[in-house]
Chain A
Amino acid sequence: EAGVAQSPRYKIIEKRQSVAFWCNPISGHATLYWYQQILGQGPKLLIQFQNNGVVDDSQLPKDRFSAERLKGVDSTLKIQPAKLEDSAVYLCASSLARGGLAGGINEQFFGPGTRLTVL
């Protein structure tokens, strides 16, 4: 079974530039998550999708971050414009959904992440 795919693996940009990350979840996984992991910290949820609908985006800085999952499969996370403090690893994860939104009891499968450096 193929895992969660992410690209690119590494990205270096100047502040105020824009960047986009792509994620393809495990086939059949309805729930998709984007996390930000700053060095020395645990992952922090940015946004959670159930199919193509947003379940939770309460920690997404909406003035600069956006995400979409148009067909309920792969997803794109964008930052525009980037700030120095956005330097982090961006992780995508997916999980099965059982019983609707209570599918949060399912384990999440993580991709390898995209390491973003903002100079």
Chain B
Amino acid sequence: AQSVAQPEDQVNVAEGNPLTVKCTYSVSGNPYLFWYVQYPNRGLQFLLKYITGDNLVKGSYGFEAEFNKSQTSFHLKKPSALVSDSALYFCAVRPSYSGAGSYQLTFGKGTKLSVIP
């Protein structure tokens, strides 16, 4: 069964500084990887995904993530944090093969990002 670990419950960063939210995964075969963001009282919103190809994926709102197969990681990054980036961030994984149990997207427990003015 696949799993996702987000080792930090909370990340604090000063506005204008670079931010990183960590994610490691476990899955059979090659992964499909996703980042979602959840703002207070709002549903989850898609940020970016890795399916295949370039290991550096660019997404919405200036976010990017780097897929590292050897370290089974998919860390979310942004060069310069904004106060409006403060939210709950979820990493998710599913296997790339088709078959029983492969369609399920498994989420991590989330990391709360606080950007301090």
Contact = CB atoms under 8 A, between A and B. Distances in A.
B46 A107 contact: yes
Interface residues of A, number: 26
B107 A42 contact: yes
A29 to B, nearest CB: 13
A55 interface: yes
B98 to A, nearest CB: 5
Task: For chain B, give the interface size range.
Answer: 20 to 34
A113 B108 CA distance: 18
B44 A110 contact: yes
A21 B19 CA distance: 37
B93 to A, nearest CB: 11
A96 interface: no
Contacts of B44: 43, 91, 93, 108, 110
Contacts of A58: 101, 104
A3 B106 CA distance: 23
A77 interface: no
A97 to B, nearest CB: 11
Interface stretch (A12-20, A65-73, A98-106): A98-106
B45 A44 contact: no
Given A41-B109, A43-B44, A43-B90, A107 B34 contact: yes
Given A42-B4, A43-B44, A109-B46, A101 B108 contact: no
Interface of A: 3-4, 40-45, 48, 55-56, 58-59, 91, 93, 101-102, 104-105, 107-113
20 contacts: A3-B43, A4-B43, A40-B109, A41-B110, A42-B4, A42-B92, A42-B108, A43-B90, A44-B107, A56-B101, A56-B103, A59-B104, A91-B43, A104-B103, A107-B46, A107-B49, A108-B46, A109-B46, A112-B42, A113-B43
